[in-house]
Amino acid sequence: MSQVKIITDAEAREIFGAEDAEFFPVRKVNAAGMRVINNWVVAIANEPSKQIRAAWFADAEKSANDAAEGESIIVEMPARMTRTHCPECLRMEQEHFDWSVIVRAEKAA
């Protein structure tokens, strides 16, 4: 059985450098990131109550995982969804994400 474990930046770098890594770390939106995204959606979206927050969190995680170290993490809301009818972008910080990795249950203890 496997489970997800939150790890530090240093631990993530160590795993990326290991030749025998079973799983590589991925970025997951943390509580601070969820608040930032939620506030952005409420402020920008044409119909905030119709927005599926989990989809925005997933989009942010994809952007974070695609970004190279030091690169900006950008989430874009299409024009058809915004109050301004123009695309809107949210620039997120590394601090809005945690590293997570899948570990086998016997290694997690």
User: pLDDT digit of tens for each residue in the chain (109 aa)?
Assistant: 678 889 888 888 888 888 777 778 999 999 999 999 999 999 999 999 999 999 999 999 999 999 988 899 999 999 999 999 999 999 999 999 999 988 776 654 5
Go through 77-90 and write b for each residue having 16 or more CB atoms within 10 A of its CB, e for each that does not: beeebbeeeeebeb
Write out 24-58 in H/E/C secondary structure: CCEEEECHHHHHHHHHHHHHHECCHHHCCHHHHHH
User: Residue 1: its pLDDT value, please?
Assistant: 66
Give the separation between CA 57 and CA 97, rounded to whole angstroms. 10
pLDDT at 64: 96
Predicted pLDDT of residue 20: 79
pLDDT for residue 107: 53
In eight-state DSSP terms, residue 96 is G
Per-residue confidence (pLDDT) for residue 24, from 0 to 100: 84
